[in-house]
């Protein structure tokens, strides 16, 4: 099994900055691999072959990259650990019942370690938005890889199946091809989504009835349903109709002050309330729209506030300090379909991204790339440590210098990075359907 899997290294020259890395083909020999990594079978250490020379932004060197392409297995959801210099992926056999974490050296693509197989519960007939996923988080000074699986177990012609979510937690410095988890954590019920709040060491498991916050270092699980006493607003919050916590409330993440709670037209954590920290130009409720918040990996919150002036489709996006609720930075933006965007952060933790919005936490400056009279709208995918953002319009890939806000088109066909680390960038998210995941180093 696994002989069709390949790790590839390419050889070409590349053009200059914010342009296309040179493309074309040539041949070359790669370094020999090493044994190990049962997720690929006994021959996973076969010598790599020539990498494709894909067009990428020229700051990344496609003459030294490696490729994951597998006709028998699905690898997906690459996550970069800069500390361990690894690219982590979720592996599973197509149609199989197990999943693994595979940790590859970010520079060479060789497998450093892979986990013991974890049984994947059956997906219910109605389907779930998620199946299994690899997340990266930490507890204190230690970094962890987490494999999350969800679905139903058991059941027959008489008995109902039980729905369950499990997290297998691994030391990022594991070794071998059957790495054992440090701990396995069970959360009752199926998950609709998993989110890692990396700096807090917390994985958020959301279901349609409750939200569980899982401390991966201790294994402690705290589950909040809508009536949990810890979710009550820290102060009276009368709204136009009822109170902010008289309707359905939910946990949107974790902060250093406790759970981040989303109520009707308000959000809060222990000791602070959103009505006291409304950013300039915003309102908790306007024109049928209300403020919503999401937890960020660093424990802060990103809130989308209705524009007080009532501009159609315009919201004020603000990052609120998780300890105090105070606004760290904000920007108004017409971010169409913003409910579909899950906020993310750049690999170095400096930038917050949400659709057409980028917020620089270091400078306190917000950027909006909505459509203007001279520029098309740009949806931003990633931001590099030098302040270069990569995104696309409806027609073209684009590079953006955040120091000036100037956007420039990239050559047609340029691949955009899906994740950027300190030393490498990842292009692609899955090997399903014959696709590849490419990893290129910086020049």
Q: What is the DSSP string of 362-400?
A: TTTEEEE----SSS---EEEEE-TTSEEEEE-SS-EEEE
- The Cα–Cα gap between 190 and 219 comes to 18
For 355, other C-beta atoms within 10 Å of its C-beta total 25
Give the model's pLDDT for residue 87. Answer: 96
Indicate whether 299 pLDDT > 90: yes
| Predicted confidence (pLDDT) per residue in 16-39, tens digit | 344 444 343 333 333 333 344 444
pLDDT at 337: 58
User: What are the pLDDT digits (tens) for 154-176?
Assistant: 777 787 777 889 999 999 999 99
Please report, rounded to a whole number, the percentage of residues in the chain having pLDDT higher than 90.
Answer: 63
Least confidently predicted of 2-16, 273-287, 324-338, 429-443: 2-16
pLDDT tens by residue, 110-158: 999 999 999 888 776 555 566 789 999 988 889 999 999 998 777 777 8
Q: According to the model, what pLDDT value does residue 243 have?
A: 81
Count of residues in the chain: 443
Q: DSSP 3-state assignment of 339?
A: helix
Which stretch, 327-341, 407-421, 426-440, has highest mean pLDDT? 407-421
Report DSSP letters for 96-110, one per residue. -SEEEEEEEETTT--
What pTM, to 2 d.p., does this model score? 0.86
């Amino acid at each position: 099994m696994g002989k069709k899997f390949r790790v590839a290294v390419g050889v070409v020259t590349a053009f200059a900055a914010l342009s296309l890395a040179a493309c074309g083909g040539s041949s070359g020999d790669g370094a020999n691999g090493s044994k190990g990594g049962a997720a690929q079978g006994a021959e996973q250490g076969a010598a790599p072959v020539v990498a494709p020379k894909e067009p990428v932004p020229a700051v990344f060197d496609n003459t030294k990259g490696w490729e994951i392409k597998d006709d028998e297995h699905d690898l997906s959801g690459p996550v970069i650990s800069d500390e361990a210099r690894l690219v982590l992926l979720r592996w599973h056999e197509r149609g199989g019942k197990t999943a693994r974490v595979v940790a590859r050296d970010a520079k060479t693509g060789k497998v450093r370690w892979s986990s013991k197989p974890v049984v994947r519960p059956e997906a219910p007939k109605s389907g779930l938005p998620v199946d299994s996923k690899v997340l990266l988080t930490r507890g204190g000074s230690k970094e962890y890889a987490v494999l999350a699986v969800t679905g139903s177990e058991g059941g027959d012609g008489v008995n109902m199946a039980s729905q369950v979510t499990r997290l297998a937690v691994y030391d990022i410095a594991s070794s071998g091809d059957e790495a054992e988890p440090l701990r396995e954590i069970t959360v009752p019920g199926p998950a609709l989504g998993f989110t890692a709040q990396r700096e807090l060491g917390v994985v958020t498991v959301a279901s349609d009835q409750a939200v569980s916050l899982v401390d991966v270092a201790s294994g402690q699980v705290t589950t909040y349903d809508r009536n949990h006493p810890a979710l009550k607003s820290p102060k009276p919050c009368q709204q136009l109709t009822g109170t902010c916590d008289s309707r359905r409330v939910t946990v949107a993440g974790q902060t250093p002050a406790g759970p981040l709670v989303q109520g009707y037209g308000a959000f809060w954590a222990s000791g602070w309330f959103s009505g006291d920290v409304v950013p300039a130009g915003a309102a908790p409720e306007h024109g049928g729209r209300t403020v919503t918040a999401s937890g960020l990996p660093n424990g802060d919150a990103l809130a989308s506030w209705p524009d007080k002036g009532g501009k159609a489709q315009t919201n004020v996006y603000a990052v609120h300090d998780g300890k105090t609720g105070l606004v760290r930075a904000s920007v108004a933006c017409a971010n169409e379909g913003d409910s579909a965007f899950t906020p993310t952060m750049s690999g170095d933790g400096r930038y917050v991204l949400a659709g057409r919005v980028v917020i620089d936490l270091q400078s306190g400056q917000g950027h909006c790339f909505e459509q203007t009279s001279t520029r098309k709208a740009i949806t931003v995918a990633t931001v590099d440590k030098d302040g270069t953002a990569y995104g696309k319009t409806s027609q073209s890939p684009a590079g953006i210098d955040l120091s000036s806000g100037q956007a420039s088109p990239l050559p047609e066909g340029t691949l955009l990075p899906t994740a950027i680390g300190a030393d490498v960038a990842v292009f692609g998210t899955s090997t399903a359907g014959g696709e590849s995941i490419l990893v290129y180093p910086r020049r």
